[in-house]
Amino acid sequence: MSDIAIQVSNVTMKYRIASEKLDSLKNYFIKKIRKEIQYEEFHALKEVGFSVNKGDVFGIIGLNGAGKSTLLKIIAGVLKPTQGKVVTKGAIAPLIELGAGFNGELSGVENIYLNGLLMGYSKKFVKDKLEEIISFSELDKFIHTPLKNYSSGMKARLGFSIATVIQPEILIVDEVLSVGDFKFKEKSEKKIKSMIEDEGTTVLFVSHSLSQVERICKNALWLEHGCVKKIGKVEEIISEFKNNA
């Protein structure tokens, strides 16, 4: 266990979904009071288990709805599983939901302070790192513009630059590098690789781009309908995934 950064054990995430469509809020409340609503259980994840070693770059692939984002949110501590547990060793920097923690009415620079504080950085630390964050994001001209005017790619740049300004022990990346221009994607990939090589950062990586997963990751998990289909070397997993697509 000493070399394991992330241990996921028997994780299940179950939701209750109404089995009939209710055409109005009034009907919903009437049926709810009368206890007439029928529910079906939906498993977003079912008995998922795996481990990731320190310094590994671990990809998670699967079709839409396979449970990838739900799994990352559970590992990051955003969601609590219905059953099972996750043990992580080290500070986590999650890049899960694009723009999560941002305020559209505030400027880019104000959002750097807000997001930095939410991530546990001190105001002095954010101030000391401000120019580095702005420089990496390449948003100098727009940094005093309200975030509501930013494109999704610009928000991704800002989020990535804030999250990686320190060396987190575990970095969780969910589709953030799939938006924005090619030049910044390359720059972000290099940043991730340098974090791994210099500090031994453990990375969990989700992307719809299989070529990107193959470039960055060493090992991968294939999720299918919330269950573990296969775990292994990234080349083997992606090859088999493509053949079954």
Query: What 8-state DSSP symbol labels residue 166?
Result: S
Does 110 fall in a domain? no
Does 153 fall in a domain? no
Q: Where are the beta strands (DSSP E) in the chain?
A: 4-18, 39-53, 57-61, 83-88, 92-95, 170-174, 202-206, 219-224, 227-233
Does 56 fall in a domain? yes
Query: What 8-state DSSP symbol labels residue 23?
Result: S
Does 84 fall in a domain? yes
The rounded distance, in Å, linking the Cα atoms of 119 and 127 is: 14
As for how many domains the chain has, the answer is 1
pLDDT recorded at residue 195: 80
146-169, pLDDT tens digit by residue? 999 998 888 888 988 888 887 788
Does 78 fall in a domain? yes
Q: Are 167 and 195 in contact (CB under 8 A)?
A: yes
Does 51 fall in a domain? yes
Domain that holds residue 175: 4-34+42-91+168-244
Spans in the chain with pLDDT lower than 50: 1
Residue 99, C-beta contacts closer than 8 angstroms, at least 6 positions apart = 147, 152, 155, 159
Query: Would you call 189 exposed, middle or buried from its count of C-beta atoms within 10 A (0-12, 13-18, 19+)?
Result: middle
Does 154 fall in a domain? no
Does 104 fall in a domain? no
CA distances, 52 to each of 3, 61, 119, 162, 232 (Å): 9, 15, 23, 24, 11
8-40, pLDDT tens digit by residue? 999 999 987 765 666 667 666 666 676 766 667
pLDDT recorded at residue 200: 82
Domain containing residue 201: CATH number: 3.40.50.300
pLDDT recorded at residue 9: 97
